[in-house]
Amino acid sequence: MSAKETEISDLGEFGLIDRLTKDFPIINSETKLGVGDDAAILAFGEKDVVVTTDLLLEGIHFDLRYVPLQHLGYKAAIVNFSDIYAMNATPRQITVSIGVSSRFTVEHIDMLYSGIRKACEIYGVDLVGGDTSASVTGLVISITCIGDVEKGKEVRRSGAKPTDVICVSGDLGAAFMGLQLLERENSVAAQQKDKDFQPDFAGKEYILERQLKPEARRDILELLRNEGVHPTAMIDISDGLSSELLHICKASNVGCRVYEDKIPIDYQTALMAEEFHMNLVTAAMNGGEDYELLFTVPLTAHEKIEKLKGVKMIGYITAPDLGAALVTRDGGEIPIKAQGWNAFNA
C-alpha cells in the first residue's frame, strides 16, 4: 500500500458509505429520499415501477487482472440499465451493495464507484441506497435498478406472435471476442520476464470496448418511439442470442427462424474469430454480454424498421411446433440450443 492509500477499516462502514455516496447527485424528481435512511423513497405517481437486480462475483463474472475497477463499476451499472430498457422502461434509481476483501483500499473502491457514477450521469440515474461489507474473499457487487414505464407501455418477453419480425440492435459477438483477447494477452503477459510488457491492442479497440465498457441501448428505444413502432416482445442480450431467443420463444409460446447471414457482426469480431480459429456464428449466437436489444415487431412494421440505422431484421416468429432454428447459408436448419454462458459449469 502506498502512502496515499487508505485502509477501509480506517473509515468503517458508515464512513465508507458517506465517502462513496457523497458525489452522487439526485437527478430525478421522483427520488424523494436517497441514501442515508433505512430505505429510499420514490414517488412514481401514475407510472408503473420496474425493478431488476444483478449479482457480480469476482472470479466468476470478472477478473481484476485485466478489468479496471472503473470499467467494472460502469459495466455493473449498465447491465442493470439494459434490463430496464429491455422492458421499454426508463432506469431512475439504483442501489449498490459491495463486499470487499482486505486487499482493497478505499481508493480502489473509489475507482469502482467513479465508474458507477459515470454511468449514472450518462443515463440519468440516482444512487439511492446500498450496503457495504467486508468479504472474506473477493469483490462482490450487487446492484438493483428501479425504473418507470407509462402504464400499458411495458414490453415483456411474452408478447411475440407468429409472423412477427425478429430484430436485433448493433452487432453481436464482439464482447465475447474482446474477452478472448483480454484473456490471451493476460496469459501472455504473465509469461513475460519484462515487467513493462504492454499488450498490443491496436486495431482491436472496438471489441475491447464492447467487453470492458458496454452501453445500454436507450437510443434504440428512442428510434422506435419516434417511428411509432411498439415491439411485441423484447429482451436484452446478456447470455447470447441463442439463449435470449429461447427465452422469448418459451415465454411467448412460439417458435422462430433466424437467418445465419442476417446476424450483424462487426469486422473486428470476424478478424478476431479467424485469429482464434473460432466459429464466427457460434461466437455471435452464444458469446453473450453484447447488451444489445432483441425484439419482435408486427410484420406491418417491416418498412419502418428497414429505415432504422443500427437495427437489423434477422428472422421471424413461427408457430410453437416448428421450434427454434437457425437457417444456415445453404438453407439447412440447425435447432437453436442455449449454449449461453452457464456460471455453474464454468
175-204 residues in contact with its own copies (CB under 8 A) are none
CA–CA gap between residue 305 and residue 284 (Å, rounded): 22
Rg (Cα) of the chain, in Å, rounded? 21
Q: Exactly one of 46, 194, 261, 303 binds its own copies (CB under 8 A); which one?
A: 46
**Which amino acid is it at 50?**
V
Closer residue to its own copies (CB): 99 or 264: 99
Residue 61 sits in the site that holds its own copies (CB under 8 A)? yes
18 Cβ contact partners less than 8 Å away, ≥ 6 residues apart: none
Binding segment for its own copies (CB under 8 A), chosen from 21-29, 30-38, 185-193, 202-210, is 30-38
Whether the CA torsion 160, 163, 169, 170 is positive or negative: it is: positive
Q: Exactly one of 60, 188, 319, 334 binds its own copies (CB under 8 A); which one?
A: 60
| Number of chain positions touching its own copies (CB under 8 A) | 76
CA–CA gap between residue 276 and residue 66 (Å, rounded): 19
What does the block give as the cell for 208? 475491447
Question: Least Å distance between CB 106 and its own copies?
Answer: 10
121 Cβ contact partners less than 8 Å away, ≥ 6 residues apart: none
Closer residue to its own copies (CB): 97 or 282: 97
Q: Exactly one of 35, 76, 98, 324 binds its own copies (CB under 8 A); which one?
A: 98
Question: Least Å distance between CB 328 and its own copies?
Answer: 26
Owner of C-alpha cell 457523497: 22
Question: Least Å distance between CB 66 and its own copies?
Answer: 17
Question: Least Å distance between CB 268 and its own copies?
Answer: 28
What does the block give as the cell for 135? 468479504
Question: Least Å distance between CB 10 and its own copies?
Answer: 9
What does the block give as the cell for 46? 401514475
One symbol per residue from 244 to 283: x for binding its own copies (CB under 8 A), - otherwise; what is it? -------x--------------------------------
What does the block give as the cell for 301? 412494421
Q: Which of residues 72-91 bind its own copies (CB under 8 A)?
A: 83-84, 86-87, 89
Q: Exactly one of 26, 27, 57, 278 binds its own copies (CB under 8 A); which one?
A: 57
CA–CA gap between residue 321 and residue 309 (Å, rounded): 33
Question: Least Å distance between CB 263 and its own copies?
Answer: 21
Question: Least Å distance between CB 335 and its own copies?
Answer: 17
Binding segment for its own copies (CB under 8 A), chosen from 38-46, 112-120, 181-189, 272-280, is 38-46
Q: Which of residues 127-156 bind its own copies (CB under 8 A)?
A: 128-138, 140, 142, 144-147, 149, 151, 154, 156
Residue 97 sits in the site that holds its own copies (CB under 8 A)? yes
Residue 305 sits in the site that holds its own copies (CB under 8 A)? no
Q: Is 294 helix (H, G, I), strand (E, B) or coil?
A: strand
Pairing of strands 324-327, 255-259: parallel
Exposure string of 115-129, with b = 16+ CB inside 10 Å and e = fewer, is bbbbbbeebebbbbb
CA–CA gap between residue 103 and residue 7 (Å, rounded): 9
Q: Could you tell me which residues are beta bridge partners of residue 55?
A: 142
Relative orientation angle of helices 8-21 and 106-123, to the nearest 10 degrees: 10
